[in-house]
Amino acid sequence: MSGPEPLRRVTVLGSGSWGTSFAKVLADAGSEVTVWARRASVAAEINEQHRNEGYLPGVALPAALRATDDATAALHGADAVVVAVPSQYLRENLAGWQPLLPPGATLVSVSKGVELSTLKRMSQVVAEVADVPMDQVAVLSGPNLAMEIAAEQPTATVIACTDHDRAVALQQACSTHYFRPYTNTDLVGVEVAGACKNVIALACGMAAGLGYGQNTMSSLITRGLAETTRLGVALGAEPMTFAGLAGLGDLVATCTSPLSRNRTFGERLGRGETLQQAQEATHGQVAEGVKSCSSIRELAARTGIEVPITEVVHRVCHEGLAPAPGAALLLGRERKAE
């Protein structure tokens, strides 16, 4: 019995920290990899100096890794296309690339979020905009902080796709001595976990900024996992997904690491900075959870699921609630069984 066709040529659309780190993984695993960069200067730096200092300072990239700012050249002949752009900009970017996508190529989303305007998960946006069946779309998610992966620190991840052969082919294309992918068919669970963990990480950051310790952090992570699981199961996810790498694994990494943009952004809010001040301090980059908290809150409301931590994060980010009164709101909720 023959296995799936190998993915020999992979294109990564996006040259940020995660896109570049995953491109490095793919190249280290033996794939022919091309990165599309929005700026020609970034593509030139990757090609000539094997660096992307703006996003991965001090990291040496494989000499075989190529980059271009020409999307047509980047996508030509690709067996798989990895979309690595912020979730709220995925639709707009992919619409421009859609005519260039090779027919039959596996489309891989590594973006984490729920689209604000439609409340769709990223795989749904990819399938809709690219006009492909859902079984052509895969999702990759797990405890995957870009800088640690670029430094080749051991980690694992989950590749979710309803087409098992596509998932296995992608698994083979990104397996290295430091990066271990597992397959899964639960796209809903993997994506809901990936989107919600950014919001919970903002809450953990706010708690740290307020000076709270590990008891508070552990409580937020645990109750955050509970509300994420409730929402995911209501949307059709498998409960066990949330106990795995894409659920608990990613949640712990994002909520506790200083490398997590959502955690550090939340910490600034907890110390009293405004949303604008926190954004300016992070070089204009907004943490994904700042926008996703609103779409996840609305999705939960439509589904009839309570998400109290997400509700408080939304109110802090978008309605002027201070983090300390937000914590009081959570503690003052009606007492009930776990």
Residues that are catalytic: 197
Which among 184, 179, 183 has a CA at the least distance from the CA of 156?
Answer: 179
Burial (Cβ within 10 Å: 0-12, 13-18, ≥19) of residue 81: buried
Distance CA 230, CA 11 (A): 35
To the nearest 10°, report the CA torsion of 147, 151, 155, 157.
50
How many whole angstroms separate alpha carbon 190 and alpha carbon 185?
9
Q: What is the dihedral of CA 150, 151, 153, 154, to 10 degrees?
A: 30
Please state, in angstroms and rounded to a whole number, the distance separating the CA atoms of residues 314 and 63: 43
- Please report, as a single letter, which amino acid is at residue 4: P
User: Whole-angstrom Cα distance, residue 16 to residue 28?
Assistant: 18
In a 10 Å sphere around its CB, with 0-12 CB exposed, 13-18 middle and 19+ buried, how is residue 247 labelled? buried
Among 187, 189, 193, which Cα is nearest to 166's?
Answer: 187
- The amino acid at 218: S
Q: Answer whether 85's CB lies under 8 Å from 15's CB.
A: no
- Does residue 232 sit in helix, strand or coil? helix
